[in-house]
Amino acid sequence: MSARAPWVLLVPGDLHTPTGGYAYDRRLLQAWRAQGRAVDVLRLDGDWPHPDAVALARAAAALAALPDGACVVADGLAFGVLAAQVAPHAQRLRWVALVHHPLHLETGLAPALAEGLRRQEGEALRHAHQVVVPSPHTAHDVAALGVPAARIAVVEPGADPVAVPAPRPRAPDGPVELLCVATLTPRKDHGLLLRALGGLLHLDWRLHAVGSATRDAAHARALHALTASGPLAPRVVWHGELAEAALQARYAAADAFVLASRHEGYGMVINEALQHGLPVVASRAGALAQTVPPEAGLLVPAGDESAWRAALAAVIGDAALRARLAAGARAAAQHLPAWPQQAARFAALIDAVVA
């Protein structure tokens, strides 16, 4: 790579934050470096995408310090609200925006805040020479912000090899183990999942919820309160964030994977579920309609409690259906692209921008 055009990965906060977007950033970085690319990481601390004046001033200073000609691959969680800070460097730096999903589509935002984020992100993306998104659905969402289709490219997440044990026999009298891997935020709609499962107490199931309770602590406390007592208390296990080995153990112990999100730009956890041969029940929301293969899972209208209850009842109560969907998941996993392949595709886009 030419010294005249170094690459910089701009990350909002801690690169090791356990979300799909940060996992995408981490695996890109690892694959690029393994392929011999010299990539620096620029960490911008702050409450993204709601930074205060101090975070914005620090971001402006950090961007001003980058050398002329640098190619900045900027995570959209920060880039989308940095239009004013990027504008002075729109020509001297080469900008590639990585949009996991548009900021204004986050669930639970007040209308005025959502509109402000939509406007800010549209302004910021005008400065991007290239916009990369993880799915065709997100490409459509970004185009709606005014970005020409010619400047949008889709690079789906890669998949890492996982050691998947042979399908384990279930004890005939044991519960069906459901797994949900998602941060405890309104967009993931754990509340809907709990309400739907609350109507299935006559079936034998247990829900394991893995995900950070700190991204929206008040929402997480409200969810925990729903299962602190009553009939859901012995049925729902909140694991919080798990280290990788413990997370893989949860996948291995699960009988089905559930994700009730109101929107996803891709849904990388679906790939992990497929690799572990798990039947999937997910919302038909955002890119999930494209991410979940029909032979591997059931897609349910987002927010539809009765439809969710019916889909969960089918998967919990029908072992033959679970086996058929599990076989479909294992077959679909064979066609997932690897991270080195996807990182090379992304790198080719950067090379074209730098050229």
Tens digits of residue pLDDT in 332-351:
999 999 999 999 999 999 99
Indicate the range of 63-72, 105-114, 169-178, 283-292 predicted with least confidence. 169-178
Name every residue whose Cβ is closer than 8 Å to that of residue 149 and which is 6 or more positions away in sequence: 139, 143
The answer to whether 96 touches 353, Cβ cutoff 8 Å, is: yes
Same domain, 278 and 302: yes
Same domain, 145 and 212: no
Same domain, 50 and 180: no
* DSSP result, 136-204: HHHHHHHHTTT--GGGEEE----B----PPPPPPPPTTSPEEEEEE--SSGGG-HHHHHHHHHT-TTS-
pLDDT at residue 171 is higher than 50: yes
For 73-127, what is each residue's pLDDT tens digit? 999 999 999 999 999 999 999 999 999 999 999 999 999 999 999 999 999 999 9
Per-residue model confidence (pLDDT) at position 164: 66
Per-residue model confidence (pLDDT) at position 349: 97
CB < 8 Å & 24+ apart, contacts of 50-58: 50/81, 51/78, 51/81, 56/82, 56/84, 56/85
Same domain, 38 and 127: yes
Task: State which amino acid sits at residue 53.
Answer: A
pLDDT at residue 2 is higher than 70: no
pLDDT at residue 286 is higher than 60: yes
Nearest partner of 240 among 272, 214, 203, 268, judged by Cα: 214
Assign 206 to helix, strand or coil: strand
Residue 37: CATH number of its domain: 3.40.50.2000
Q: Domain count of the chain? A: 2
CA 234 to chain CA mean position, Å: 29
Task: Please tell me the chain's helix, strand, coil percentages from 3-state DSSP, rounded to the nearest 5.
Answer: 45, 15, 40
The average pLDDT across 230-252 equals 96
Note whether residue 236 is domain-resident.
Answer: yes
Note whether residue 115 is domain-resident.
Answer: yes
For residue 44, count other CB atoms closer than 10 A to its CB: 23
Structural domain of residue 199, as residue ranges? 176-333
Note whether residue 167 is domain-resident.
Answer: no
pLDDT band at 209 (very low <50, low <70, confident <90, very high): very high
Note whether residue 271 is domain-resident.
Answer: yes
* DSSP result, 284-321: --TTHHHHS-TTTEEEE-TT-HHHHHHHHHHHHH-HHH
The average pLDDT across 172-183 equals 92
pLDDT at residue 3 is higher than 60: no
Name every residue whose Cβ is closer than 8 Å to that of residue 213 and which is 6 or more positions away in sequence: 184, 220, 221, 224, 238, 240
The answer to whether 218 touches 188, Cβ cutoff 8 Å, is: no
Assign 335 to helix, strand or coil: coil
Same domain, 349 and 329: no
Same domain, 120 and 256: no
pLDDT at residue 194 is higher than 70: yes
Same domain, 315 and 350: no
Give the bridge partners for 152, in sequence order.
131
Mean pLDDT of the chain: 95
Note whether residue 2 is domain-resident.
Answer: no
Per-residue model confidence (pLDDT) at position 165: 59
pLDDT at residue 173 is higher than 80: no
Q: What is the DSSP letter of 67?
A: P
pLDDT at residue 329 is higher than 60: yes
